[in-house]
């Protein structure tokens, strides 16, 4: 699994003119799932997302996690995070999991994040043409790959 995490002061997802998810301060999480991903990858990554200390403390240092600032999550499926671009100019997405694997894992990630935060997680619609609006706070943008844990 791969994620791009953006610390935001607000973010929303719109599909066909309807807002499907909206948050104020928190994290926009773009989630890519590949065929090789397991429940262990999911659990490790969910813990990492929730406990990542990227919010400012009283001294302006990134020392606080999402729960410390009562932040929210907007979780968006993003198969393009597994784009392979070495050959030619058209990306290949062969490593991205097919919907029959990716949808259940996306739903499990949502459930896991909600459990860890003890609050709902806003989402987009898997596979839809989503329009994401955000105000990146910082800017702070971090990428994490569950296969690279060192």
pLDDT (tens digit per residue) in 38-52: 999 999 999 999 999
DSSP state of 79: G
80 included as an active-site residue: yes
Specify whether the CB–CB gap between 58 and 64 falls below 8 A.
Answer: no
**pLDDT single digits (tens) 100-109:** 999 999 999 9
pLDDT for 83 beyond 90: no
C-alpha to C-alpha distance for 19 and 40, rounded to whole angstroms: 32
Burial 86-120 (b: 16+ CB within 10 A, else e): eeeeeeeeebbbeeeebeebbeebbebbeebbeee
Task: Read off the pTM.
Answer: 0.94
pLDDT for 126 beyond 70: yes
C-alpha to C-alpha distance for 81 and 147, rounded to whole angstroms: 14
Topology at the third CATH level for domain 2-145: 3.50.80
pLDDT for 31 beyond 80: yes
Specify whether the CB–CB gap between 5 and 138 falls below 8 A.
Answer: no
pLDDT for 149 beyond 80: no
**pLDDT single digits (tens) 9-23:** 999 999 999 999 999
Catalytic residue of the set 14, 18, 80, 123: 80
Region 33-40: what's the mean pLDDT? 94
Please, which pLDDT band fits residue 34 given cuts at 50, 70 and 90? very high
Within 8 A by CB and 6+ apart from 122, the residues are 13, 20, 21, 22, 23, 72, 73, 74, 75
| Residue-level pLDDT at 85 | 87
Region 123-140: what's the mean pLDDT? 96
């Amino acid at each position: 699994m791969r994620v791009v995490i953006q610390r935001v002061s607000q973010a929303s997802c719109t599909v066909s003119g309807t807002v499907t998810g909206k948050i104020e301060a928190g994290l926009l999480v773009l989630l890519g799932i590949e065929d090789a991903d397991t429940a262990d990858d999911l659990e490790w990554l969910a813990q990492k997302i929730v406990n990542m200390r990227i919010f400012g403390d009283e001294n302006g240092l990134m020392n606080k996690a999402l729960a410390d600032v009562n932040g929210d999550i907007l979780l968006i499926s993003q198969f393009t995070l597994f784009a392979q671009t070495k050959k030619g100019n058209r990306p290949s997405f062969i490593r991205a999991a097919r919907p029959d694997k990716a949808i259940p894992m996306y739903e499990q990630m949502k459930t896991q994040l909600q459990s860890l935060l003890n609050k709902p997680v806003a989402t987009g619609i898997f596979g839809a043409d989503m329009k994401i609006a955000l105000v990146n706070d910082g800017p702070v943008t971090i990428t994490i790959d569950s296969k690279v844990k060192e």
